[in-house]
Amino acid sequence: MSKKDFDVIVVGAGSMGMAAGYYLAKQGVKTLLVDAFDPPHTNGSHHGDTRIIRHAYGEGREYVPFALRAQELWYELERETHHKIFTKTGVLVFGPKGESDFVAETIEAANIHGLDVDLLEGDEIHQRWPGVTVPENFNAIYEKNSGVLFSENCIRAYRELAEAHGAKVLTHTRVEDFEISEDSVKIQTEFGSFTGSKLILSMGAWNSKLLSKLNIDIPLQPYRQVVGFFECEESQYSNTHGFPAFMVEVPTGIYYGFPSFSGCGLKIGYHTFGQKIDPDTINREFGIYTEDEGNIRRFLEEYMPGATGSLKRGAVCMYTKTPDEHFVIDLHPQYSNVAIAAGFSGHGFKFSSVVGETLSQLVTTGKTEHDISLFSINRPALKQKAKI
């Protein structure tokens, strides 16, 4: 067997890949991280300053242990770096009582796992946060121990620590092809080839294009998503005045947002809206569609009227969705030396710390201490068809 360049090659060094690279390099594993851009960057799904981390999880109670481990690892990362990683803003989830499955599942997840939460109804919500105006039939759950991650800082910190532990980060390098055998991997890039024993694939929206080169077909659809930052009454909506991050399910869909940090404005996005796109041709200009601003402004006018000032700035990113909007975190069905992280469906960033830990375990030991059965590549919802 010829000598390999690296023990593990990570293709896609964004949220999940960079975390995996750190946990591998920390163990002394000779690691190469390859990315088409220069992380952190604005071409994927991790930019826009902030991401919410929730423990009580409306997407499914099965996520709660994964979220709690992710939180532990974020605290650990903050202790090990000079970057600001997390702020405990609390997270407010609200919607029409008896009509919002998301709110109901969030409350049930909190109850099952014994999380510290407050339950509120109707005007209690407005009394506690005067910036929020809701009908009397609304209810809410507030989780004080959750909050906000500073996403670009997270990736920046993982990169610095990975490199400090000896990982090689190769930027502005597109991977064109793969050669895989039971004990060897080879990637072909525009600048040459690299060999290793193991491979992690975490290419975000580009997974939908490149996984087919490895005889696997996972139904993944990238979407164009937007967020806006709006002028607001700082006394009502700023982090320093106690306004929380939030997730909301109302008749028009699911929205999410963040308090104003240092006068940046209230940040808000529309989780259930987006245009299908090709990641190589996506239009990244905010405002090319009327609905870029229109959808989120209409929500603010109805539920957060003090945050309907002028648009300070907008940003465009991508979601890559699976049919059931659960993740794919698994070993390749044919090659046990290849781990795949894909389809994070717009709610994955908060987990990137524990996903990185999980991927590092999968490629070094073939298994993980975490329950990732929900994320199986072979689950019925994916209707996965291997091209053998």
Separation of alpha carbons 44 and 353, rounded Å: 17
Whether residue 289 is annotated as binding a ligand: the answer is no
- Is there a catalytic annotation at residue 321? no
- Is there a catalytic annotation at residue 51? yes
Whether residue 13 is annotated as binding a ligand: the answer is yes
Whether residue 11 is annotated as binding a ligand: the answer is yes
Phi, psi for residue 197 in degrees, rounded to 5:
-90, -35
Among residues 154, 232, 264, 317, the one annotated as catalytic is: 317
Task: Count CB atoms within 10 A of the CB of residue 251.
Answer: 8
Query: What size, in residues, is the chain?
Result: 388
Among residues 4, 46, 47, 347, the one annotated as catalytic is: 47
Whether residue 342 is annotated as binding a ligand: the answer is no
Whether residue 166 is annotated as binding a ligand: the answer is no
Whether residue 311 is annotated as binding a ligand: the answer is no
Among residues 46, 198, 224, 350, the one annotated as catalytic is: 350
- Is there a catalytic annotation at residue 50? yes
SS3 assignment for 233-293: CHHHHEHHHCCCEEEEEECCEEEEEECECCCCCEEEEECCCCEECCCCCCCCCCCCCHHHH
Whether residue 16 is annotated as binding a ligand: the answer is yes
* Dihedral angle, C-alpha 102, 116, 143, 348, nearest 10 °: -60
Whether residue 255 is annotated as binding a ligand: the answer is no
Whether residue 275 is annotated as binding a ligand: the answer is no
Whether residue 48 is annotated as binding a ligand: the answer is no
Whether residue 24 is annotated as binding a ligand: the answer is yes
Whether residue 304 is annotated as binding a ligand: the answer is no
DSSP code per residue over 144-206: TT-EEEEHHHHHHHHHHHHHHTT-EEE-S--EEEEEEETTEEEEEETTEEEEEEEEEE--GGG
Whether residue 28 is annotated as binding a ligand: the answer is yes
Token output for 302: 């109805």
Whether residue 26 is annotated as binding a ligand: the answer is yes
Separation of alpha carbons 347 and 355, rounded Å: 13
Among residues 4, 55, 159, 267, the one annotated as catalytic is: 267
- Is there a catalytic annotation at residue 317? yes
Cβ within 8 Å of residue 8, ≥6 positions away:
24, 29, 30, 31, 32, 196, 197, 198, 199, 200, 363, 364
Whether residue 18 is annotated as binding a ligand: the answer is yes
3-state DSSP helix/strand/coil percent for the chain, to nearest 5?
Answer: 30, 30, 40
Among residues 4, 46, 50, 368, the one annotated as catalytic is: 50
Contact 330, 342 (CB under 8 A): no
Whether residue 140 is annotated as binding a ligand: the answer is no
Among residues 4, 46, 51, 198, the one annotated as catalytic is: 51
Among residues 54, 159, 198, 271, the one annotated as catalytic is: 271
Phi, psi for residue 69 in degrees, rounded to 5:
-70, -40
- Is there a catalytic annotation at residue 271? yes
Burial profile 313-341: b = 16 or more Cβ within 10 angstroms, e = fewer: ebbbbbbbbbbeebbbbbbbeebebbbbb
**Structural element, H or E, at residue 10:** strand 6-11
Binding residues for FAD: 7-37
Binding residues: 7-37
Active site residues: 47, 50-51, 267, 271, 317, 350
